[in-house]
Structure 1
Amino acid sequence: MTRIREFEERYSACFVDFGVKTVTGLIIGSMMGSFFLHGFKKWPMMIGGGLGFGMAYKNCENNLNGYLLAMDAKECVIKKQP
């Protein structure tokens, strides 16, 4: 039962990581666009959000795959119902 709880905690932490990194990328992109391009442009903000989303995705994928590959394969067998 604790393994399921650990997986749920890692999975929910991924959603928090997606939100934080995407919003941070959007904010940094909008600040860089307004400082260096002398006006509000949308493309730096979209690039920043995309980079944040991609970093969060890769981090979550590595975290979950590392956890799942470290588990014992015998515990993951689905038993047939009679």
Structure 2
Amino acid sequence: MPKPDSRDFEERYTACFVDFGLKIATGLLLGSMLGGFFLHGYRKWPMYIGGGLGFGMAYSNCENSLNNFLLSMDPKACVIK
């Protein structure tokens, strides 16, 4: 049984920004290294593809994390008076 995550919204939101930075930087780095190695020259499109893949993965992780938190909240607590 998975352990429930007890982080609040601000901690999850901050973790999303850290995840974006790490995944985009890693994608750019790997894309430029693989593009330079396999294409024997400096091409920019592998960096763009790597950065785009990193951005997509980070966005998906962030969306899942925030949706799980927001859907687990008590809907009666969010009533506007």
Under a length normalisation based on structure 1, what TM-score does the superposition of the two structures give? Answer: 0.89
Confirm or deny that 1:46 pairs with 2:39. no
Q: Which residue of 2 aligns with 1:8?
A: 10
Q: Which has the larger radius of gyration?
A: 1
Under a length normalisation based on structure 2, what TM-score does the superposition of the two structures give? Answer: 0.90
User: Identity over the aligned pairs, expressed in percent?
Assistant: 75
State the 4+ residue runs in structure 1 displaced beyond 2 angstroms: none
Aligned length: 75
Q: In the alignment, residue 80 of structure 2 is paired with which amino acid?
A: I
Q: The residue matched to 2:53 in structure 1 has which SS?
A: helix
* C-alpha distance in 2 between matches for 1:31 and 1:75: 50
Confirm or deny that 1:18 pairs with 2:20. yes
Provide the aligned C-alpha RMSD in A.
1.0
The unaligned stretches of length 5 or more in structure 1 are none
The unaligned stretches of length 5 or more in structure 2 are 1-6
- In terms of fraction of residues, the more helix-rich structure is 1
